């Protein structure tokens, strides 16, 4: 299994607009972060997790050759803004793309991009089909013949889908673990997990260093990598305690 970190940043990226770095280390190239997204490649399939506003840039920069399916964590802008690019992607790839989202996330997609659900011709002439598929809130599901598990986690006033595939799990935009998630995350070789707030405490639906320490205690993954890092984070300080994801990072399991 190959995992590529397409983007490791928060909703506003790092640096933010007007070249605003906040607490991030502007001298470190790895601190330059696009919006959070990963690509999972295994058994001849390529599964994208989230499709944000930097989608096209990420695909090109990382020389991605194929996408078979997209897993959506939730309906916020930084995770869905690239969805309108998918009809063109199907045209260029020459095949359909499956898009999976929990019921409430699917409702957000329909509300934001309703025209994509009424006919592909409106979106992109000669495009292939976007196959919209509703995820369970909890439990197992299959993507292109690959077996995944999902569990919803609270994210401020909504919920975000976390995913496990084999011995790997991806958790982003969360504020606490549920019993279902703790069960799903046991015996992992790798956990990539959001730490948007770093050492700061903020009631914004995101995780901080204390939550990361709790997740380590609760599920004890063999390796943990922090992602969805915002400009509020002193990433030099945070990286002294935990491994931080960076754009373009490739992990083999």
CA 22 to chain centre: 23
pLDDT-derived band of residue 121, with 50, 70 and 90 as boundaries? low
CA trace torsion 227, 225, 240, 27 (10° rounding): -40
Interval 154-193: pLDDT, tens: 998 999 999 999 999 999 999 999 999 999 999 999 999 9
Mean pLDDT of 209-213: 96
Spatial contact of 191 and 210, defined as CB atoms under 8 Å apart: no
pLDDT-derived band of residue 216, with 50, 70 and 90 as boundaries? very high
Q: How far apart are CA 38 and CA 245, in angstroms?
A: 11
Print the domain residue range for 44. Answer: 2-252
Mean pLDDT of 124-139: 91
Domains held by the chain: number: 1
In sequence order, what are the beta bridge partners of 146? 143
Q: List Cα–Cα distances, 81 to 114, 221, 232, 239, in angstroms.
A: 13, 31, 23, 29
Looking at the chain, how many residues does it have?
A: 253
Give me the pLDDT at residue 110, please.
96
Q: How far apart are CA 250 and CA 202, in angstroms?
A: 30
User: Could you say which DSSP state residue 4 is in?
Assistant: E
In sequence order, what are the beta bridge partners of 82? none
Place of tokens 């983007």: 7
Q: What CATH number corresponds to the domain at position 141?
A: 3.60.15.10
The yes-or-no verdict on residue 126 having pLDDT over 90 is no
Q: How far apart are CA 207 and CA 170, in angstroms?
A: 14
Interval 55-101: pLDDT, tens: 999 999 999 999 999 999 999 999 999 999 999 999 999 999 999 99
Q: What is the mean pLDDT of the chain?
A: 95
């Amino acid at each position: 299994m190959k995992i590529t970190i397409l983007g490791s940043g928060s909703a506003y990226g790092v640096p933010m607009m007007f070249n605003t770095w906040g607490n991030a280390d502007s001298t470190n190239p790895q601190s330059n972060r696009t919006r959070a997204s990963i690509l999972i490649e295994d058994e001849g399939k390529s599964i994208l997790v989230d499709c944000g506003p930097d989608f096209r840039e990420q695909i090109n920069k990382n020389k991605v050759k194929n996408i078979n399916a997209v897993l959506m964590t939730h309906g916020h802008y930084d995770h869905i803004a690239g969805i309108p690019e998918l009809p063109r992607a199907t045209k260029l790839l020459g095949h359909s793309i499956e898009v999976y989202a929990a019921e409430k996330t699917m409702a957000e997609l329909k509300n934001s991009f309703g025209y994509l659900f009424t006919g592909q011709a409106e979106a992109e002439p000669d495009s292939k089909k976007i196959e919209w598929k509703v995820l369970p809130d909890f439990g197992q599901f299959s993507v292109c013949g690959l077996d995944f598990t999902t569990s919803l986690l609270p994210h401020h006033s909504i919920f975000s889908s976390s995913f496990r595939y084999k011995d790997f799990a991806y958790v982003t935009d969360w504020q606490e673990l549920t019993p279902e998630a703790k069960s799903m995350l046991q015996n992992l070789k790798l956990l990539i997990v959001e730490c948007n707030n770093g050492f700061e405490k903020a009631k914004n639906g995101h995780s901080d260093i204390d939550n990361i320490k709790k997740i380590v205690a609760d599920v004890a993954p063999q390796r943990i990598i922090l992602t969805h890092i915002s400009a509020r984070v002193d990433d030099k300080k945070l990286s002294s305690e935990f491994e931080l994801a960076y754009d373009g990072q490739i992990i083999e399991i």
